Amino acid sequence: MGSVVDPAFVQAPEHRPKSTEDFRTLHLYHHVFPLYREACEKYAKAVNELAFKLLELIALTLGLPAKRLNGFFKDQSSIIRLNRYPPCPSPNLALGVGRHKDGGALTILAQDDVGGLDVKRRSDGEWIRVKPIPNSYVINIGDTFQVWSNDKYESAEHRVSVNSERERFSVPFFFNPARYVTVQPLEELIDEMNPAKYNGYKWGEFYKTRQNGNFKKLDVENIQIYHFKKAV
């Protein structure tokens, strides 16, 4: 297996369509589906407000001022994704999404009643189904928070299973910092007894490289935060 691409040499992605087809899709989005756009933007605003509330609550649990982390999101690169998983005739042979960890700070997941989200239990490696609860969100800590907290919080490995009878819908909101932010253990959480466990990295460069695949079988090993772990 090859070595990890040095993130210092990977440029952050740009917000622009990559093809003529992408431009056509954007045109349809803005002009043919105005109500759809309005609904998405309204939801994005609401869930973004929730994300900041969660951010402040988690900061308090770390003994930090509530708004200590807010500045990292001044030019945030957050994403909303609309997922549909159709019924699969052989669910034992396929996954909706393979095992992975979210690279950002937080993920706020809305899902229907079908279920399919599995989280890997750290104690024994078993996959545990996250039972859908009506009118609720699933909140997932991402890699960025694991590094900020110097491992006080841990990013959860998860996957999506499919079934043969019902399609499944989910709407994850990935709360990500600005692309220029350097992700590293917060200085308030490190001292002689608790030294920094990670070297810093640029979020935009990390995200760009991570998008090439997350735990996929590639010719080049995909980047993970453990690649930035300091030697003990």
Q: Is residue 197 part of a domain?
A: no
Per-residue tokens: 81: 């994704």
CA proximity to 141, closest of 162, 115, 119 = 119
| DSSP per-residue letters across the chain | -BPPPPGGG-PPPPSS-SSHHHHHHHHHHHHT-HHHHHHHHHHHHHHHHHHHHHHHHHHHHTTS-TTTTGGGGTTB--EE--EEE---S-GGG--SEEEE---SSEEEEEE-SS--EEEE-TTT--EEE----TT--EEEE-HHHHHHTTTSS-PPPEEE---SS--EEEEEEEE--BTTPEE---GGG--SSS---B--EEHHHHHHHHTT-SS---SBPPP-GGGGBPP-
CATH number at residue 94: 2.60.120.330
Q: Is residue 79 part of a domain?
A: yes
What pLDDT does residue 43 have? Answer: 94
Number of domains in the chain: 1
What is the pLDDT, as a whole number, of residue 27?
53
Distance of alpha carbon 78 from alpha carbon 40, whole angstroms: 14
Whether residue 85 is contained in a domain is answered as: yes
Structure confidence at residue 158 (pLDDT): 94
Strands 182-183, 106-111: pairing is unpaired
Q: What is the pTM of this model?
A: 0.82
The full length of the chain comes to 232
21 in a structural domain: no
Identify the bridge partners of residue 109 per DSSP, sorted by sequence position: 138, 172
Give per-residue pLDDT as tens, 195-226: 999 999 999 999 988 876 555 554 555 789 99
Q: 108 lies in which domain range?
A: 32-178
Residue 201 covered by a domain: no
- Please identify which residue in the block is written with the tokens 């950002």: 104
| SS3 readout for 187-198 | HHHCCCCCCCCE
Are 13 and 204 in contact, with CB atoms under 8 Å apart?
Answer: yes
Cα separation of 177 and 181, whole Å? 7
Q: Which residues of the chain have pLDDT under 50?
A: 1-23, 218
The label of the residue with tokens 């440029």 reads: 11
Is residue 81 included in any domain, yes or no?
Answer: yes
Let me know if residue 183 belongs to a domain: no
Q: Is residue 228 part of a domain?
A: no
